[in-house]
Amino acid sequence: MTKSIQQVKQNLENLKSQVAETATELEALHGGYLELLGHSLKQQLILACYQICTQIYPQSFINLSLSAKQDLQQKLRQLSLALKPQLSEIITRKELEPKPSQLNLMAELIKKLPKSTREGEAENTLAQNDLELIKAEIANLENIGDLENIELIAIDTSLNEELEPDNFPEEVIKEKIDFENPEHLISWHQQIERDIKKTLDETSKKVNQLLQGSKIIPDRLPNKVIDVAMQADVAKGMRNNSHPPQVAHVMNLTIENDKSKKSKTGKKSLQISLLRLRLAEVEFSDHLLNAKRGQIRNLMSKVKKLDSQYRAIQQELAIIEAQAAWRSSWYED
């Protein structure tokens, strides 16, 4: 027997009530998670910087004056303390931004390129345009020979209409979250994850700039190379180095010449260690945070099931309403 429109609408309202209750639980879980994350990151950021200054670049730290050491430590503490309020603010945002494309990170890199690199060669890869600029900056680096033999990060993504920087709107239109709509909860969760990563990336960049400014990390590597490396993490020609040993939240990079050329020129490769805050490493080191992540994961599984039911009821309602509309407009000749 076919359900009435009123019955289906009532089923939809009942489901919305379940979704709203789940949304309240999800917000509480995210809030607790972000609070724990801020506390854990504060400790792990300082520990990673301690390792960089005492294990990886000890002589550079020793060379600083007492006041310079204290100034560096104070600024690192300030950056670590700033993480908690930044993360807590994420949960207060009750509007959805447009979903990024599958290549959202690459799109951000495209937007940062000079306009001259965007025009006239849309069919080429981004790497061919951008790496020429990077190689020009690397030309002045010590210990690096033939630029023709340096393989940097190749971003293999063709520019198309969707990714053209000039097509990105100046102001994004945000949509208020409907906490009775499970699809909105899924998008909200994904947005929170992106905001967390963005916060970690921005803090990592600030710390690296501070360490470079204090002459701890060598400042011979162009910022553009560092930015791309931080996004790719590990890439061709810029690979994880076996020395020094792996340290949590520290990314070790090596830029090398071609081996055949290296033996002729005697040039050395450039090695550099950078701070790279990684969410997976934070959770691995904090069992409470990892447990909270498990709770969020389980609740999101429930939200996805509710979303399937929500879509099914909406489809059922649309069919019944369409059938009723057909009957009301039909007449015999």
Tens-digit pLDDT profile for residues 183-193: 999 999 999 99
Structural domain of 29: 5-278+288-329
Give the predicted TM-score (pTM) of the model: 0.74
Q: What is the per-residue pLDDT for 126?
A: 47
Looking at residue 23, its pLDDT comes to: 97
Q: Is residue 222 part of a domain?
A: yes
If you write DSSP's letter for every residue of 73-131 in order, what string do you get?
Answer: HHHHHHHHHHHHHHHHHHTT--EEPPPP-TTHHHHHHHHHS-GGGTSS-TTSBHHHHHH
Q: Give me the pLDDT at residue 171, please.
A: 55
Residue 22 resides in a domain: yes
Phi-psi region of 237 (alpha: psi -120 to 50; beta: other; left: phi over 0): left
Question: Could you tell me the end-to-end alpha-carbon distance of the chain, in angstroms, rounded to an integer?
Answer: 29
Rounded CA-CA distance 75/11 in Å is 56
Neighbours of 137 (CB within 10 A): 13
Any domain includes 283: no
In angstroms, what is the C-alpha Rg of the chain?
26
Domain tally, the chain: 1
* pLDDT tens profile 65-106: 999 999 999 999 999 999 999 999 999 999 998 876 543 554
Largest CA distance in the chain: 98
Within a domain: 204: yes
Residue 119 falls inside a structural domain: yes
Token pair for 132: 């020429």
> Which tens digits make up the pLDDT trace of 109-125?
555 555 554 454 444 44
What letter would DSSP give residue 147? G
On whether residue 262 sits in a domain, the answer given is yes
pLDDT (0 to 100) of residue 205 = 93
- Report residues of the chain scoring pLDDT below 50: 1, 102-103, 106, 117-118, 120-126, 138-166, 168, 170, 234-245, 260-261, 263
Evaluate whether residue 83 is within a structural domain: yes
